Amino acid sequence: MSTTHAASSTRVGSSLKPALIGSFAKLAPRHAIQNPVMAVVWLGTVLTAVATIAGWTSTGFGWAVTAILFVTVLFANFAEAVAEARGRGQAASLRRARKDLVARRLDKAGRENTVPAAELRPGDLVVVAEGQLVPADGEIVEGLATINEAAVTGESAPVLREAGTDRSGVIGGTKVLSDRIVVRVTAESGHSFLDRMIALVEGSVRQKTPNEIALGILLAVMTLSFLIVVATLPFIGGFVGVRVDVVLLVALLVCLIPTTIGGLLPAIGIAGMNRALRANVLAKSGKAVEVAGDVDVLLLDKTGTITYGDRQATAFHPLAGVNAAQLRQAALLASLADSTPEGKSIVRLAREKGEKLVDPEQAHFVPFTAQTRMSGVDLPAGRVIRKGAMDAIVRHVAALEGHAPAELEARVHEVARKGATPLVVSDGRHVLGVVELSDVIKRGIKERFARLREMGVKTVMITGDNPLTAASIAADAGVDDYIAEARPEDKLARIRAEQAGGRLVAMVGDGTNDAPALAQADVGLAMNSGTQAAKEAGNMVDLDSDPAKLLAVVEIGKQQLITRGALTTFSLANDVSKYFAILPALFAASVPQMAALDVMRLSSPASAVLSALVFNALIIPALIPLALRGVRFRPASATELLRNNMLVYGVGGVLLPFIGIKLIDIVLSAMFNL
């Protein structure tokens, strides 16, 4: 236990040191000007220092104000530097994953040559065997293998990747645990997913989101407005015979402008990106994370997202007059050469029901094709066994001068109404019965959709299944709507229709046919195990390849929005309290009527100003953990969220400074006799 604690302390210490150094580095004008609010505080620090040196104010008071303002700027820089330091730690581990990679590149003659991974180019073919690291991002074009992706995703369980499937993508730096694969490189050196992740976590390419830009403009306008107000105070004071100290004016300006949110805004944005990365979601920009928080409609593929994806044989339904064992044996024989998960599950279920697995001699296996929509086996003595879609089997039997019993259609519809897929089995001219293939709904998916509904997100299931099957699965899963027999253009049309209605749309996909929809959606979440086309089209990639992860992404986006809103409310509410601390200090001596505003009964004007500035400086580091962790999110309406923000962060933002400033005033007056 102590070892864990020591390791944790070491990590914290190692991240704080570069953050402290970064706080001073960010004092450079080039960086300071990027944050208008804190740039004004930094300028005020220089101005108070000049005023103190020039003798425009008392030396002790002037240097005290200068020091507090300088510390305020450092605290704001520290908040941003801490958020960046967290990302750099992750970037260092990612760099280790790609260090010194080598590749076994195939030339045109098929010979292997060992080259550094940095020399690989898109289109190159490389061989990766058991125990070796994948040298670059690419797609498997030959073979299948289990791969350990822990170096990238942090997930220790190995995953299966196979050529010719929607799970053919591999990432450079991951380790092949079994078998041998040939990979076609798809990314230039320096532009891989690892490179992109490293750049993102270091914050070098973090784009500001629309809400962040809007808030930045609002803060700049407010700062400019208060700057104009404070600049006019000396002229107003001149009319009533009050000489206003320039240091007091700077103090008033710093306390009135929203320094708290101004100091924490960069940290909030970076923390949102880091939270997405901790969830193993690679967002190509901060905009993608935040837009996820505003999503209105979510489109999900059924297979692999709502259901487990591999349909499994769950029951045999023989027709009247057909022996159950006869149906099971025929289905088993027709599936022996079927390497699909469905075919394997039929063999497994038949064996569990008592059928023996015996390879027939002189058998000719007929593979499934999209044209015939059936597969099977031709046995000696002219015996022909087939399994496939009902209409295909009916045509096949009719060609052999047989006919399908009237009972067959009822059996097929009965299976389809349960959300399962019916496969019809025939032996020669006779239809034997139906095999039920069930696409099992993922555990907990219904509760997740209910949670999305509470957030105001409408869920739409997309499937190529017939309407009966689609309706059944949609009801069981709890989605709000579904599209049956969907083609790629149908997905695209639905997204465009929703966007035309002013709604933000998120789409989850992993196949090449999902790429157009992923590119069109406001948030396109591609599976890391999917094709390169899908990953390039989406603006987010789930490294765990868990399609239900979008629920977490939506929550992260909403949490970022709520955190920024809560801290903005708190910052603006703070200004009200600091107003009552500073203004009486400015005018109470010359304008006795202003004493009524001194509701805190502070010790002296100097103590009032210093107490307000100290509180203003301390509140920024106090809120850094909240900015990095985020305000706790729970599904609620916008009205309820606004009300909670106003009650907790609005009222709290007004009351806390009254208490804090008064306590600081008591300490300062006791220590320095102010």
Rounded distance between C-alpha atoms, residue 220 and residue 225, angstroms: 9
Instruction: DSSP for 36-79, please give it.
Output: HHHHHHHHHHHHHHHHHHTTSS-HHHHHHHHHHHHHHHHHHHHH
Residue among 195, 245, 294, 301 flagged as catalytic:
301
With both helix axes pointing from N to C terminus, report the angle between 36-53 and 210-239 in degrees, rounded to the nearest 10. Answer: 30
Encoded tokens for 9: 């302390």
Q: Are 413 and 468 in contact (CB under 8 A)?
A: yes
CB within 8 Å of 304: residues ≥ 6 apart? 510, 527, 547
Instruction: Give dist(CA 441, CA 358) in Å, integer.
Output: 33
Instruction: Output the CA–CA distances (angstroms, integers) from residue 153 to 80, 163, 189, 394, 546, in the order listed.
Output: 25, 21, 20, 48, 12
Cβ(613)–Cβ(254) below 8 Å? yes
Q: Is 4 annotated as a binding residue?
A: no
560 is in an annotated binding site: no
124 in a labelled binding site: no
In sequence order, the β-bridge partners of residue 175 are 133, 148
Residue 523 φ/ψ, nearest 5 degrees: -130, 115
Q: Which two tokens stand for residue 355?
A: 């059928």
Annotated binding residue 342: yes
275's CB contacts (< 8 A; 6+ apart) are 289, 556, 559, 560, 630
CA 537 to chain centre: 16
Q: Which residues, 6+ apart, have CB-to-CB distance to 12 below 8 Å?
A: none
Residue 338 assigned ligand-binding role: yes
Place of tokens 């009351």: 655
81 by DSSP, 3-state: which? helix
Task: Report which secondary-structure segment, H or E, holds 139.
Answer: strand 138-142
132-150 as b/e, with b when 16 or more CB fall inside 10 Å? bbbbbbbbbeebbbebbbe
Concatenating the DSSP letter of every residue in 552-602 gives HHHHHHHHHHHHHHHHHHHHHHHHHHHHHHHHHHHHTTT-GGGGGG-TT--
* Structure-block tokens of residue 36: 């208008």
Is 307 assigned to a binding site?
Answer: no
Q: Is 355 helix (H, G, I), strand (E, B) or coil?
A: coil
Task: Please say whether the beta carbons of 332 and 313 come within 8 A.
Answer: no
- By residue count, the chain amounts to 674
Q: Is 387 annotated as a binding residue?
A: yes
Going by the DSSP 8-state scheme, the letter that residue 359 receives in this structure is: P
3-state secondary structure 508-545: EECCHHHHHHHHHCCEEEEECCCCHHHHHHCCEEECCC
**466 contacts 389 by C-beta, under 8 angstroms:** no
Q: Are the CB atoms for 149 and 155 separated by under 8 Å?
A: yes
Please give the structure tokens belonging to residue 252.
Answer: 């008033």
375 is in an annotated binding site: yes
Is 371 annotated in a binding site? The answer is yes
67/74 Cα distance (integer angstroms):
11
Distance CA 526, CA 167 (A): 12
- Specify whether 598 is catalytic: no
Q: For residues 49-76, b (16+ Cβ closer than 10 Å) or e, as one string?
A: bebbeeeebeeebbbbbbebbbbbbbbb
Q: Is 514 marked as a binding-site residue?
A: yes
Can you say which residues are annotated as belonging to the binding site for ATP?
338, 342, 368-375, 387
Q: Which residues are annotated as a binding site for Mg(2+)?
A: 510, 514
Catalytic residues: 301
Binding residues: 338, 342, 368-375, 387, 510, 514
